Each structure stands twice: as structure tokens, then as C-alpha cells.
Amino acid sequence: MRLPQFTYHSPDTLEGVLALLDEHRDNAGVLAGGTDLLVRMKHRLAVPKVLVSLKHLDTLSYIKETSEMVSIGAKTPIIDVIRSNRVQQQAPALGQACERIGAVSIQHFRGTIGGNILQDNRCIHYNQSQFHRTGRQPCHKDGGKICYAREEADRCNSTCQSDGAAALMALGAQLNLCSSKGERQVSLDAFYTTDGIHPFDMQPDELLTRIDIPIVPGAVSVYQRLSFRSAIDYPIVCAGVRLVPDPDDAGCIKSARIVVGAMGRSPLFLAKVSQSLAGKRFDDIAAVAQAGKDAMNTAAAFAAHNAGAALPYRQAMVETMVIRALELAAAQASMKIAR
């Protein structure tokens, strides 16, 4: 398969990149590792006239820590995130998520954390060759008016299969977006539209430059995902959780964040279910089990046949993933207390 024709730029500076994005806007594609974009271009799902490569922007590759947050440059290779002590200490869920992205070779040579978060939503009916998409009506995301993932749906039911995004949302991360007009910060919770066609609330001239993960004293976090293979496989369902202990009673949960991924158009932060754990003890098995059930019941409504596994199975597995993540997080918390 061949790439469509495009003009290629690789500016030396952030300003240069931003100027090109401003100039070409919707006609521009940002090339970091290319593991998502180039495949979509080969399928003609994306046909940017201009590719703006970030290959000279080494300034966007770093992991820093202050007392308030861990900051990760958007172009940081996945492998650096996996190996980072800071991430392992302050945001273990992100490290666990990154370990499951692509394969070892992709983690080393191409994949970036920013690219993982900004990978386009996927659907098994949409991410197909041009040949596959002929002889049938185009789907919503492909410019048509049909959804093959869910019968009679009036809008796109693609799903966000980013491992990194689900983990980062659980960690309460913020994104830093830059354009030639300035920069802005947005929490990951607020970053998503509910539109499967354009899943991100992001302007075409904006570039993701940094991810900030708040450091919450005593917090524990876990990422769990399900797929068929150990590598080169997107999650069919995943869960990220962060539990913050009560400073006055370390055995007690002060607040929780439960996020379910690969089910909806964005990672789903389940506010009510998360809320239900506040004030519960870490070893409250019944509360964890109930949270798992509630998570499943809430997330299942978003599910559609958009990934390669039976839908009822994916829905049922939400419960298992959430419970496992919570149990592992509780175990982390008790180890912290023991220390």
C-alpha cells in the first residue's frame, strides 16, 4: 500500500511547527512516530496535503518532576515513560499502560506518548482498506450516514483505544496545547468531544506539547487491560484507577478515579462509581465488587461492535478489569502503609 502524495516539512523549532499548522490547518497532519497517522493515510482515511514532522523537536522529549506534578513532553518515546523512575513512583498506571502499547520495537523506535493519546478513534468497520469500504455505504466517520458498529445509530460509534489516555485520565492529567496564538491547558476529562468523528476538543492549529500529571501524596494507581495477544494488539476493554488515601486514616479511601477505556468514544471517567468509593476502606471487598458492577452497567451502554471481540464479552469484562485494578491498587496502598 502506498501513501498518498503530500508535502513534507520538518521544522527545527516549535515556532516553525506552529506556523505551518496555522498556515495549513485542516490540511496538515502532525507526524511524530507515525504509527497511527501513516496507516490511516495508507487506507486513505486521512489524506493530509502537508505533513509536519516533529523529528527535530527534541525539546518536546523529557520527563520532569516538581513537587506538584510530573511533566512529560509529548514527543517522549514510550520506552522512556516505561523506564522512568518518576513515572513508576508517581504514576504507575501510566507505566503499566505504556508497557502494553504496540510492541517493544514500536515502544523503542517510533511510538510517542503524545501520539498515543492523540491516536484517532478506531472501529473495526472503519479502519479498513479502500477496497473493503467500497461496495457498501460509507459510515459516519467515513463521510456517510450509516453506523456499522451499532444498528440504526445516528452518529459515529468509534472508540478510543489509547492505553495511555485511559491511564492518564485516571491520574487526573492535564494537557498543554500550543498554537501560534499562545498556549492553553485542558484537563483530559474535558479534552474529549462526544463525537466519534472528531474525538478531541482541539483546534487544527494546536499542538500537544506536554502532559502534566498531578502528584497526590499517597495516591496509588493501576492500569488493567484485556486483549488477545501480549503485543501488537489494541485493548478490547481497559480500566485505569487512582485511589487517594485519607491522610488521617491510611486504610481509608479519600477519593477515587475510575476510568474505563476502549468502550466509548473517549475514555469514560465514571464519576458516580468513583464517588461511591470515597470513605470506604481499601479492603472493603463488597464496595469494590459493587463498583465493578456499577462500572460495567454504566460503561456497557457506550459499547458498540467496534473492536474484534464479541460485544457482550467486552461489556462483561468491564467489571473484571475495574475490580482487578481496584484490588491491585488496594494492595499497593497496603504495601505503602507497611513501608
Q: How far is the CB of 147 from other proteins (least distance, A)?
A: 12
Q: How far is the CB of 46 from other proteins (least distance, A)?
A: 17
Per CB under 8 A, 328 contacts other proteins: no
Q: How many CA atoms lie within 13 A of 336 on its CB side?
A: 22
Q: How many residues bind other proteins (CB under 8 A)?
A: 29
Per CB under 8 A, 148 contacts other proteins: yes
Helix (H) or strand (E) holding 177: strand 174-179
Per CB under 8 A, 49 contacts other proteins: no
Say if CB 297 and CB 270 are below 8 A apart.
no
Stretch 109-128: interaction string toward other proteins, x if CB under 8 A: ---------------xx--x
Per CB under 8 A, 231 contacts other proteins: yes
Per CB under 8 A, 134 contacts other proteins: yes
**Which lies closer to other proteins via its Cβ, residue 113 or residue 317?**
317
Question: What angle is formed at CA 213 by the lines to CA 163 and CA 181, rounded to 5 degrees?
Answer: 95
Among 271, 285, 301, 316, binds other proteins (CB under 8 A): 316
**Cα 38 versus chain centre, distance:** 19
Question: What angle is formed at CA 197 by the lines to CA 117 and CA 200, rounded to 5 degrees?
Answer: 35
Give the chain's radius of gyration (CA, Å): 20
How many Å apart are CA 156 and CA 152, to the nearest integer? 11
How many Å apart are CA 240 and CA 218, to the nearest integer? 17
Among 309, 331, 332, 334, binds other proteins (CB under 8 A): 309
**Which lies closer to other proteins via its Cβ, residue 130 or residue 185?**
130
Q: How far is the CB of 125 from other proteins (least distance, A)?
A: 7
Q: How far is the CB of 167 from other proteins (least distance, A)?
A: 19
**Cα 254 versus chain centre, distance:** 25
Q: How far is the CB of 124 from other proteins (least distance, A)?
A: 5
Stretch that binds other proteins, among 11-19, 130-138, 246-254, 265-273 (CB under 8 A): 130-138
Q: Residue-wise over 267-297: b if at least 16 C-beta within 10 A, else e? A: bbbbeebbebbeebebebeebbebbbebbbe
Say if CB 34 and CB 110 are below 8 A apart.
yes
- DSSP per-residue letters across 264-302: SSS-EE-HHHHHHHTT-BTT-HHHHHHHHHHHHHHHHTT
Q: How far is the CB of 233 from other proteins (least distance, A)?
A: 7
Among 25, 64, 132, 184, binds other proteins (CB under 8 A): 132
Q: How far is the CB of 307 from other proteins (least distance, A)?
A: 9
Per CB under 8 A, 230 contacts other proteins: yes
Residues of this chain that interact with other proteins (CB under 8 A) are 1-2, 124-125, 128-129, 131-132, 134-136, 148, 226, 228-234, 308-310, 312-313, 316-317, 320, 324
